Amino acid sequence: MPGNGAKFRALLKEPGIIISPGVYDGYSTRLVEAAGFKLGAISGAGVSESRLGWADRGVMTFEVNLDNARRLADCCDTLILRADADTGYGNAMNVHFVVRAFEGAGMAALMFEDQVWPKRCGHMRGKSCIPTAEMVQKVKAAVDARRDHDFVIVSRTDAAGPLGVDEAIDRLNQYAEAGADCLYADALLSKEDIAKVAKNVPRPLIVNMGLGLRSRNTTPLMTPKELEAVGVKVVSYPRMLSTAALKGMMNAMAVYKSDVMEKNLAVDRPDLCAGFEELNNLMGMKRLDEIERKFVGG
């Protein structure tokens, strides 16, 4: 049986663009797997916001992120997972141990970026980047640390906004030379910039689309086919499910406050809530029943 890294590498060799929804908890991970997607991208922002209740500004620690990744891997059968390690939680020495930890947690790939710590979401103002040479050493440390040669190292640059797209391209090329298997250009600000980066880097390129994230600093929306046509290999939608979940909870809470608390009505709103059987089916109830019958009886 091929390892998770080998599965990701095989996926990268298949023709066509790979669509990778962002996941962050058991609900989102099981939903993406059930929908038939092959690759899920663990969203560091989604984990920080859902588990800690704080924005993506470097509040989340390595241990929280790692524990969450391990739990998501444990509830997957077929979904390949790419983890988000922010800046690697320190220098090149720290990156060595971070890579080994996420590899051991069942990830197929690990992404880390060239921002100054504490980092911030790529679409927030105020980003700054570490020197290219420092990030190159981090990439080299990551490549050297992995136990399985197929474990995929994804190197991300946030330089396009603060330093320009040409600087982002130069950095990505140096990260590729240092051994990065995939390259990630975050927060590109025009369709032309996306095409330019894809044309001028030597490794598979990942970009994200801001479905569910409206901001003046966000990347313009393009369809997967449009991205494929300009040379992008993987498109991630990191905020789609987390923002959809939050909006759903906001809508349900508004109805509860209005109809139940203020009007004293007993309401049932299946349009706002998943059904009990639907929830249990998604959450692996059938598998739990099988295990119980096999080992406990009944």
**How far is it, in rounded angstroms, from Cα 153 to Cα 283?**
30
* Tokens 């190197």, residue located: 155
**85 contact partners, CB below 8 Å, separation of at least 6:** 44, 62, 65, 98, 99, 102, 110, 111, 112
pLDDT score for 151: 98
Pick from 55, 65, 61: which is nearest to 102 by CA?
65
Pick from 73, 23, 69, 21: which is nearest to 43 by CA?
23
> Phi and psi for 295 in degrees, rounded to 5?
-110, -20
- Look up residue 183 and give its amino acid: L
- Look up residue 296 and give its amino acid: V
Q: How many helices (H) and strands (E) does the chain have?
A: 13, 8
Q: Are 88 and 138 in contact (CB under 8 A)?
A: yes
Pick from 187, 171, 257: which is nearest to 45 by CA?
187
Helix segments in 129-190, DSSP class H:
132-145, 160-163, 165-177
**How far is it, in rounded angstroms, from Cα 215 to Cα 235?**
19
Give whole-number Cα distances, 68 to 20, 42, 72, 142, 204, in Å: 18, 9, 6, 21, 27
Judge if the upstream peptide bond of residue 118 is cis by omega within 30 degrees of 0. yes
- DSSP letter at 108 equals S
- pTM value? 0.94
3 state SS of 1: coil
**How far is it, in rounded angstroms, from Cα 81 to Cα 70?**
10
**How far is it, in rounded angstroms, from Cα 105 to Cα 275?**
32
Class of domain 4-238: alpha beta
pLDDT score for 123: 81
> Phi and psi for 237 in degrees, rounded to 5?
-120, 75
Using DSSP bridges, classify how beta strands 18-23 and 234-237 pair: parallel, antiparallel or unpaired: parallel
**How far is it, in rounded angstroms, from Cα 144 to Cα 189?**
33
DSSP H/E element including 224: helix 224-229
Tokens of 141: 């440390």
Residue pLDDT tens, the chain, 298 long = 789 999 999 999 999 999 999 999 999 999 999 999 999 999 999 999 999 999 999 999 999 999 999 999 999 999 999 999 999 999 999 999 999 999 999 999 999 999 999 998 878 888 999 999 999 999 999 999 999 999 999 999 999 999 999 999 999 999 999 999 999 999 899 999 999 999 999 999 999 997 655 555 578 899 999 999 999 999 999 999 999 999 999 999 999 999 998 999 998 899 999 999 999 999 999 999 999 999 997 6
- Look up residue 199 and give its amino acid: K
* Spans of all domains in the chain: 4-238, 246-295
